[in-house]
Amino acid sequence: MIQTTQPMALTIAGLDPSGGAGIIADVRTFVHFGVRPAAAITSLTFQNSERVFGATHETGASLRAQILPVVGEGRIAAVKIGMLPTADLVLEIARLLTETDLPAPVVDPVLQSTSGYALMEKEAVAALVTELMPLARLLTPNIPEAETLTGLEIADEADMREAAAMIRAMGAQAVLIKGGHLNNESERYAVDLLDFEDDVKVLSGEWIESPPVRGTGCILSSAVAACLARGMNLEESVVAGKEFVAETIRDAAGLAQRGASGSGNAGR
């Protein structure tokens, strides 16, 4: 067994060759937080900064073959799970979580790309709800993802609370609903809602003017996992992750202001 003072976090996600999202973004985030990264690929996507053109997926057997040697070499302090395109992959991860000492994961339910490309089959979504969600430490859906999982239409904070309660009832220990897709640009703030341990925290942040930033969901979920790996509690990890995403968006806004004369789009 490898002995190291640096905690190790495992990301299980798709590979975005352009580096904006997926495993590459996760690894960068782990390194930023001083966590040793390990990674297993669920899907090789064909994409750039504008759109997804297609993907080829791993099998459950090949995913298991990637993960078991890592688990056998050293203790994994945290797990982040991203793109799970097929039910085969979802079910294999659920088996691995029950058969090994992997910790309860932070699950980012990546249902489709920003450009609208479906990243998860319907059968995989059903398996996520019944098999993986009850094993999750935290689920981090955005508004459209929370709507798909619950069947609710989410228009405000009250709807977010109802959706979070429904997702908790499905078995997740905690849920963070990301409110960046709400139509609150005029109010100049962004609201996320954390439902955990019979408590609900509303986490407000500034609304940052920026061009669209890819991979913020990946970055947030991997930042939370990294902070959990370092021994922070869930609420502290979520707050630190949100601030890191905000810094990322501020950096993008600064680059846009320096590099272009036009105004950017509102981002979160």
Q: Which residue has the higher pLDDT, 191 or 240?
A: 240
Q: What is the CATH number of domain 8-254?
A: 3.40.1190.20
Q: H or E stretch including 40?
A: strand 36-47
Of the candidates 189, 157, 154, the residue with the CA atom closest to the CA atom of residue 266: 189
Tokens of 94: 């659920």
Q: H or E stretch including 195?
A: strand 189-196
Lowest mean pLDDT among 34-48, 120-134, 135-149, 184-198: 184-198
Query: Do β-strands 106-107 and 138-139 pair in parallel, antiparallel, or remain unpaired?
Result: parallel
Write down the pLDDT at residue 190: 76
pLDDT (tens digit per residue) in 19-43: 989 999 999 999 999 999 999 999 9
* Confidence class for position 3, pLDDT limits 50, 70, 90: very low
Write down the pLDDT at residue 175: 97
Write down the pLDDT at residue 42: 97
pLDDT (tens digit per residue) in 166-201: 999 999 999 999 987 575 554 566 789 999 988 999
CA dihedral 35, 39, 42, 47 (to 10 degrees): 80
HSE-CB at 192 with a 13 A cutoff on CA atoms is 25
- Indicate the burial class of 70 (C-beta count within 10 angstroms; 0-12, 13-18, 19 or more): middle
Lowest mean pLDDT among 177-191, 218-232, 247-261: 247-261
